[in-house]
């Protein structure tokens, strides 16, 4: 079997004529007109649906032409939709597997994401092709290096196409919130904070870092030594390395002495406890909009005097305990001071003062870019006794209050807020289909209002022979070709001096990119060659 994604170069002399076969009935496929401004497909746990999809949010969204549609986790995504946006946050095994596939694709096509986020449906289209044509299980076995370089080559070719970029800038249609690989980055407490550490943000408004920490993956008996070597000071916040939203991943504790450290259960992150006046700031980020709220947090510990505390103490999910520090019932040592305007306690005042807006905006902008995420929140604390020393301790993907906060406070849930100027790629490649007909049906389903047309070769032929070149007036074409007929197809292209590039998707299907300059329309009535059957070639014509 050939590797999926492999690019083959068939030379002229290799091309053999194949038997002429009869054409089958004509078929023409055109997209239905859009009835909504924006369709958001969501894949969320039932708990999340309950907390997120409040009637108020749905009502307001509807007024803005946004509708939310549940994604069926047990059906290929390509059989659903079409969606403009896919929102997802699931922990189930099935979805995780899907995400892993998607993640591999993200990895393989990383260039597509980072070179230019305005690539829009082109990228989705390439990805759709790439995945839908590959069985799920085979895809996992794919040699990533071969496939990746193939994708790069295909992409380079792709990029070389005239006016593509201009076109795409005008059509940022499909958005995914957010790329699975980027979300997964937050599922590990080490990688989660790495970008903040690398950023090492420091400007006239303050400094933002991460608490000093150590990752322990095995052998608890070595922890005391490792902590000593790393010169971490006690107490330490003990956090499971995995932060996948499971109950276990939220089981945190405070370790007060070195001996107790050897009883811990790796993999873990051991983080220095930073006194922060018992107040935490949650910065919610939705695209370019940010919103900050205060939450109560763990009280400070006395680090100067030798502690009477020894051992490891599990603590509850303190920041979830109350909606906001402005109205919650608090630890009395903090509560009285939070809302008091005339307090003389400067540290308390400082602890409660929101971090400077420009600093947060800078941080949010950088992290949005570095993490490649649009819906997330940053938990940030201010070091006790300082005005401008901040630490990020946690980043959550698409937390409960992200969108409703934006919606009710800033009325930001509108198309631009979610989509912004650039566009991301939709998860529409999550499909296990193999046969050509289904691939095509799927592509038809996910095509986005007139962004491209898809037609069978027969329909194309009929249209072009009648002089209707509507679907072929574009200089970039893409054909799915039955592998057995690939040489015939290529021979035709070569005979007409049409540049082409073939990607073998799997044993049965080759994907062929070729340019068909408008100036060369005279050959259109002849395409595809009569020896190719209805099911041998399917053509996508892009509307450039």
Ligand X SMILES: Nc1ncnc2c1ncn2[C@@H]1O[C@H](COP(=O)(O)OP(=O)(O)O)[C@@H](O)[C@H]1O
Residues that bind ligand X (CB under 6 A): 211, 237, 239, 243, 250, 252, 271, 273-274, 276, 280, 297-298, 318-319, 379, 393-394
Give the total of residues touching ligand I4P (CB under 6 A). 15
**Residue partners of 297: CB distance under 8 A and separation at least 6:** 276, 278, 279, 280, 318, 319, 381
Residue 445 binds which entry of ligand I4P, ligand X, none, CB below 5-8 Å type-dependent: none
**Residue partners of 524: CB distance under 8 A and separation at least 6:** 464, 469, 472, 516
* Residue of closest CB approach to ligand I4P: 245
Q: Does 55 sit behind a cis peptide bond, omega within 30 degrees of 0 on the bond before it? A: no
- Of the candidates 88, 89, 374, 515, which one interacts with ligand I4P according to CB under 6 A? 89
H-run or E-run covering 428 = none
Residue 271 binds which entry of ligand X, ligand I4P, none, CB below 5-8 Å type-dependent: ligand X
239/384 with CB nearer ligand I4P = 239
Residues in 40-59 that interact with ligand I4P by CB under 6 A: 48, 51
Taking the complex as a whole, the smallest distance from the CB of residue 377 to ligand I4P amounts, in Å, to 6
Question: Do the Cβ atoms of 373 and 117 come closer than 8 Å?
Answer: no
Tell me the HSE value of 475 on the side-chain side, using a 13 A CA sphere. 12
Give CA–CA dist 140/127, Å, rounded: 15
Q: Does 528 sit behind a cis peptide bond, omega within 30 degrees of 0 on the bond before it? A: yes
48/489 with CB nearer ligand I4P = 48
H-run or E-run covering 424 = none
Question: Do the Cβ atoms of 478 and 513 come closer than 8 Å?
Answer: yes
Give CA–CA dist 438/125, Å, rounded: 15
Using DSSP's 3-state secondary structure scheme, residue 7 falls into strand
Residue 48 binds which entry of ligand X, ligand I4P, none, CB below 5-8 Å type-dependent: ligand I4P
Task: 156-160: list long-range contacts, CB under 8 Å, 24+ apart.
Answer: 157/501, 157/513, 158/122, 158/126, 158/513, 159/115
Taking the complex as a whole, the smallest distance from the CB of residue 301 to ligand X amounts, in Å, to 9
Q: Note whether 400 binds ligand I4P by CB under 6 A.
A: yes
Stretch that binds ligand I4P, among 191-199, 316-324, 448-456, 477-485 (CB under 6 A): 316-324
- Of the candidates 54, 118, 319, 386, which one interacts with ligand I4P according to CB under 6 A? 319
Taking the complex as a whole, the smallest distance from the CB of residue 397 to ligand I4P amounts, in Å, to 6
Helix H, strand E, coil C: the string for 284-333 is EEECCEEEEEEEECCCCCCCCCCCCCCCEEEECCHHHCCCCCCCCCCCHH
Residue 298 binds which entry of ligand X, ligand I4P, none, CB below 5-8 Å type-dependent: ligand X
Q: Note whether 320 binds ligand I4P by CB under 6 A.
A: yes
Beta strands in 317-415 (DSSP E): 375-382, 389-397
Cα angle at 363 between 361 and 369, to 5 degrees? 100
186/479 with CB nearer ligand I4P = 186
Q: Note whether 377 binds ligand I4P by CB under 6 A.
A: yes
Binding string, 210-249, against ligand I4P, x = CB under 6 A? -----------------------------------x----
Residue 414 binds which entry of ligand I4P, ligand X, none, CB below 5-8 Å type-dependent: none
Taking the complex as a whole, the smallest distance from the CB of residue 505 to ligand X amounts, in Å, to 41
Give CA–CA dist 384/345, Å, rounded: 12
Q: Note whether 96 binds ligand I4P by CB under 6 A.
A: no
Q: Note whether 282 binds ligand I4P by CB under 6 A.
A: yes
Stretch that binds ligand I4P, among 2-10, 62-70, 266-274, 314-322 (CB under 6 A): 314-322
Give CA 502 to chain center in angstroms. 28
- Of the candidates 5, 206, 372, 399, which one interacts with ligand I4P according to CB under 6 A? 399
Residue 377 binds which entry of ligand X, ligand I4P, none, CB below 5-8 Å type-dependent: ligand I4P
Give CA 79 to chain center in angstroms. 20
- Contact footprint for ligand I4P (CB under 6 A): 48, 51, 89, 245, 282, 317, 319-320, 377, 379, 394, 396, 399-401
């Amino acid at each position: 079997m050939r590797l999926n994604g492999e690019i083959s170069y068939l030379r002229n002399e290799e091309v053999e004529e194949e038997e002429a076969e009869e054409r089958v009935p004509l078929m023409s496929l055109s997209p239905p007109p859009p009835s909504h401004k924006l369709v958001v497909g969501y894949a969320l746990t039932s708990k999340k649906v309950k907390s997120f999809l409040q009637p108020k949010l749905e009502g307001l969204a509807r007024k803005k032409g946004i509708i939310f549609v549940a994604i069926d986790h047990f059906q290929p995504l390509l059989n659903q939709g079409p969606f403009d946006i896919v929102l997802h946050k699931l922990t189930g095994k099935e979805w995780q597997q899907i995400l892993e596939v998607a993640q591999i694709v993200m990895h393989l096509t990383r260039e597509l994401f980072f070179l230019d986020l305005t690539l829009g449906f082109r990228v989705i289209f390439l990805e759709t092709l790439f995945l839908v044509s590959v069985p799920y299980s085979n895809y996992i076995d794919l040699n990533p290096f071969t496939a990746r370089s193939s994708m790069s080559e295909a992409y380079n070719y792709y990029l070389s196409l005239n006016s593509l970029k201009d076109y795409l800038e005008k059509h940022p249609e499909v958005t995914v919130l957010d790329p699975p690989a980027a979300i997964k980055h937050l599922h590990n407490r080490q990688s989660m904070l790495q970008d903040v550490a690398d950023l090492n943000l420091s400007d006239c408004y303050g400094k933002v870092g991460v608490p000093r920490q150590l990752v322990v993956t095995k052998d608890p008996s070595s922890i005391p030594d490792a902590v000593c070597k790393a010169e971490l000071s006690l107490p330490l916040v003990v956090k499971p390395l995995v932060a996948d939203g499971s109950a276990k991943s939220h089981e945190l504790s405070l370790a007060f002495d070195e001996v107790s450290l050897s009883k811990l259960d790796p993999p873990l992150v051991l983080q220095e406890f930073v006194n922060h006046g018992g107040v935490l700031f949650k910065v919610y980020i939705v695209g370019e909009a940010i919103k900050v709220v205060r939450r109560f947090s763990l009280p400070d510990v006395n680090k100067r005097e030798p502690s009477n505390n020894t051992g490891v103490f599990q603590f509850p999910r303190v920041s979830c305990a109350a909606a906001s520090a402005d109205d919650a019932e608090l630890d009395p040592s903090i509560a009285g001071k939070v809302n008091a305007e005339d307090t003389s306690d400067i540290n308390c005042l400082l602890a409660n003062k929101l971090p400077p807006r420009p600093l947060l905006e800078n941080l949010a902008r950088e992290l949005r870019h570095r993490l490649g995420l649009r819906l997330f929140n940053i938990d940030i604390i201010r070091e006790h006794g300082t005005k401008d020393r901040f630490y990020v301790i946690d980043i959550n993907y698409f937390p409960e209050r992200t969108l409703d906060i934006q919606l009710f406070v800033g009325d930001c849930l509108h198309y631009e807020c979610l989509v912004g100027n650039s566009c991301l790629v939709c998860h529409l490649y999550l499909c296990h289909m193999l046969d050509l007909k289904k691939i095509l049906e799927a592509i038809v389903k996910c095509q986005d209002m007139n962004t491209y047309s898809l037609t069978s070769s027969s329909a194309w032929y009929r249209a072009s022979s009648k002089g209707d070149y509507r679907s072929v007036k574009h200089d970039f074409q893409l054909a799915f070709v039955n592998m057995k007929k690939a040489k015939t197809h290529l021979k035709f292209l070569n005979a007409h001096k049409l540049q082409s590039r073939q990607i073998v998707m799997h044993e049965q299907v080759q994907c062929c990119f070729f340019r068909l300059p408008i100036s060369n329309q005279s050959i259109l009535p002849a395409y595809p060659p009569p020896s190719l059957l209805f099911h041998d070639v399917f053509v996508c014509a892009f509307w450039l």
